[in-house]
Structure 1
């Protein structure tokens, strides 16, 4: 979101980023050829390739390619078709390398110690600095593909409303977005293993990621003083050239990007196809719009939640996904849900989708979100397909099915083709 243009107001634009891993078509080995892919398209090793509405971008490692909206989209409707077009274009180009894109937030069989190769071209200094300080040969660096959603704000007042709403929603987002139940060839026991490794990847400097749920700060000045400056101070001894002392260093689950007047939500695992990603984003945006509008409780009340309370719920959802029990009745009431006793994150999402989403003109999106709330998030459906103790071959079989869903633009169900 370009800081030189007039700032957009709340929900007037949407920046979406989808990260995919490049793997060998049959054996699913990680293939570090993103630079080759970009070179073959434009004849240069560029970090960004602009195709109009959609752009391709490199990431930290050579086996990941990011597809993103070049400018903020006016709406989420129809974005899945634009992303799908580029997925199929890239898969076509990768055919000669016996390669393809693979979805989900983590490769289930990757060995990061041997498979990690950093992007060596444009903007490499940032990646080298990260590698020098943290050693990027780890799942929390080289094996975590996510969907990022950027939402604009025009001024401090709008930032306060949006940040308050996002903070409140963050703990239950993984209930619908988790797609990473397997790591190192084993069922991890967590619905969102990507988030678990992500929240620990910079333990050396705890201020960088904090509690993942951001602190209760609601102005640019407060944010810079209480979050960003602390991060910059703590990393300074490791980063004398100040290569990393920018807003992107902040690794909370949602980060303020004041340089482009947006909040970037980073807590979302990527799904099996763009239609599923956009379905998840539409659900998230619908809830945020309702919270910002004060549909259930005043916005002022949203601001009162401490990050420790929210982080405790987030950890439960990381572990159990939609089965996570929410025992805090005050939290549930923030969404207007009246449940007798405790309720699960899945029950809350089912209510929110029924209450807020009207998708009569978007049957594909409606199908995708209905599958997620009725059959489970992608992690649950993957485990349904693999079983609790899968062999390596069974894992490969299921993830080849997921790659087929990505190519076809379908929604994964264990007992049906995409």
Structure 2
């Protein structure tokens, strides 16, 4: 079934399984599935929310079970499932942790691939890319799926998403620490994302999708080069181009949706779904040409947008945009502006359209900073393992309570 723009939504949230006391990652998603269903399965249909395994055996994905008609109460449904999972895991001394990266994981020693059904696909990825690094085994994200009905709607939605994509990590960064130290980037997950598949650069491109605005053009400029590049590695043709496309937003013509993939997972579903709701309202204004027209939105080459993305990855909300023409796309007349102020400008425009709880959550994020900023404030320059674990146990409590983390 095809849906029109913003008629329905799909949200995917990824979480880590860790030992309750030590916080060490534990490759036990298969055990979770068995606790729930009595057998090891790929997916669990749990009413409005579905559970799925991922490539790494310690990561579980929760997602909307089919298109959701509203985002207003979706975080509560996710939270109910988180409570159920934590209750199941309690008996085996495990729990769920949020954020986009485990601050102390050693992927060389602790990474374990999913070993059950569909494992041949993961094994092939591992042969091609060597999935033991942080970029494959220590990255949790939120994906937002937004529908389009035809080429005309795809054109408008893809144009809008391409413009907003470079500053999304500034809003959602939650991965400031790897190997027990700051990395120099507030969004370490996205820094890894840039080079994760360097062996086959056609898969990721510049992360910002190319200027393609129809299905035919997308096939010729994105899917065909991916298929040609992967062919020598995939002799049995078990990989599919919709999944191989690893840009920051990917077109899923198999289900008429665009999937946004540059968002770090937050500390709780309230924060994630609030961010998703905020993004949706901003995109509505772009599609309606509130700040800039479609022609101007389509005119931006990915290399220039990639430079802005780089700034967001490094500095998150403190990144300063020195591109007057880019700011003008948002209805801002200024020589330069910090991304946090761009978001404040946009929040003023759309806050009245947000659910009250989501509006309040976004307001907190805009006041206190991205989750990465709040994590580093809580760490307070003490990168001892004891202190890091103390802070991340509190983040685990935020997940259990569905409350924002405020140090």
Q: Check the 8 A contact 2:281/2:353 in 1, yes or no.
A: no
C-alpha distance in 1, partners of 2:70/2:51? 20
How far did 1:356 drift?
1.1
Report what 1:89 is aligned to: 84
Q: Does 1:279 align with 2:274?
A: yes
Of residues 363, 374, 398, the one that matches 1:405 is 398
Which residue, 367, 373, 380 being the options, matches 2:373? 380
1:63-82, Cα deviation, whole Å (9 max, x unpaired): 01110001110111110100
After superposition, what is the alpha-carbon deviation per residue over 1:264-292, rounded to whole angstroms, capped at 9, x for unaligned? Answer: 00100000000000111111111100000
Contact residue 19 and residue 66 of structure 1 kept, 8 A: yes
Partner deviation per Cα, 1:144-173 (whole Å, 9 max, x = no partner): 000000000001110010000000000000
Q: Secondary structure at the match of 2:35?
A: helix
| 1:226 aligned residue (196, 200, 221) | 221
Distance 1:363 1:11 in 2: 19
Distance 1:274 1:338 in 2: 34
Distance 2:308 2:182 in 1: 22
Shift of residue 359, structure 1, vs aligned partner? 5.7
- Scaled by the length of structure 2, the TM-score of the pair is 0.98
Is 1:112 paired with 2:92? no
1:319 to 309, 314, 330: 314
Q: Are the aligned partners of 2:226 and 2:241 in contact in 1 as well (CA < 8 Å)?
A: no
CA distance in 2, matches of 1:45, 1:188: 37
Aligned partner of 2:168 among 169, 173, 198: 173
Tell me if structure 2 keeps the 8 A contact 1:296–1:334: yes
Residue 24 in structure 1 maps to residue 36 in structure 2: no
Q: TM-score, normalised by structure 1?
A: 0.96
When structure 1 is superposed on structure 2, of 111-120 and 240-249 the one drifting more is: 240-249
SS of alignment partner, residue 112 of structure 2: coil
- Which residue among 243, 262, 267 is the counterpart of 2:262? 267
Whether 1:351 aligns to 2:345 is yes
What secondary structure sits across from 2:75 in the alignment? helix
Q: Output the CA distance in 1 between the equivalents of 2:90 and 2:388.
A: 22
Tell me how far apart the structure 2 counterparts of residues 277 and 42 of structure 1 sit (CA, whole Å). 27
Aligned to 1:253: 248
Q: CA RMSD in A?
A: 1.0
Q: 2:146, 2:257 within 8 Å by CA — same for their partners in 1? A: yes
Unaligned runs of 5+ in 1: none
Contact 2:378 2:391 in 1 (8 A): yes
Query: SS at 2:238's partner residue?
Result: coil
Q: 1:66 to 1:402 in 2, by over 3 A?
A: same
The CA distance in 1 between the partners of 2:116 and 2:352, in whole Å, is 45
Alignment pair present for 1:342 and 2:347: no
2:44 corresponds to which residue? 49
Shift of 1:220: 0.4
Contact 1:134–1:202 (CA<8 Å) still a contact in 2?
Answer: yes
Matching residue of 2:116 = 121
Does residue 158 of the first structure (1) align with residue 168 of the second (2)? no
Equivalenced residue count is 407
Shift of 1:358: 1.6
Aligned with 1:180: secondary structure? coil
Moved more, 69-78 or 365-374: 365-374
Cα shift readout 1:305-358 (whole Å, capped 9, x = no counterpart): 00000000000110001111101111111111233x310111101111111122
**Alpha-carbon distance in structure 1 between the residues aligned to 2:130 and 2:32:** 26
Moved >4 Å (runs of 4+): none
Partners of 2:356 and 2:351 in 1: CA distance: 12
- Determine the C-alpha separation between the residues in 2 that align with 1:358 and 1:333: 23
Q: Does the Cα contact within 8 Å between 2:17 and 2:96 map onto a contact in 1?
A: yes
Structure 2 residue 357 is matched with structure 1 residue 364: yes
Instruction: Please state how far the C-alpha of 1:389 moved relative to its aligned partner.
Output: 4.8
Please name the residue that 2:180 is paired with: 185
CA shift, 1:245, in A, is: 3.4
The alignment status of 1:394 with 2:378, answered yes or no, reads no
Q: Secondary structure at the match of 1:101?
A: strand
Structure 2: gaps of 5 or more residues = none
CA distance in 2, matches of 1:363, 1:306: 37
Report the Cα distance in structure 2 between the residues aligned to 1:64 and 1:367, rounded to whole angstroms.
Answer: 29
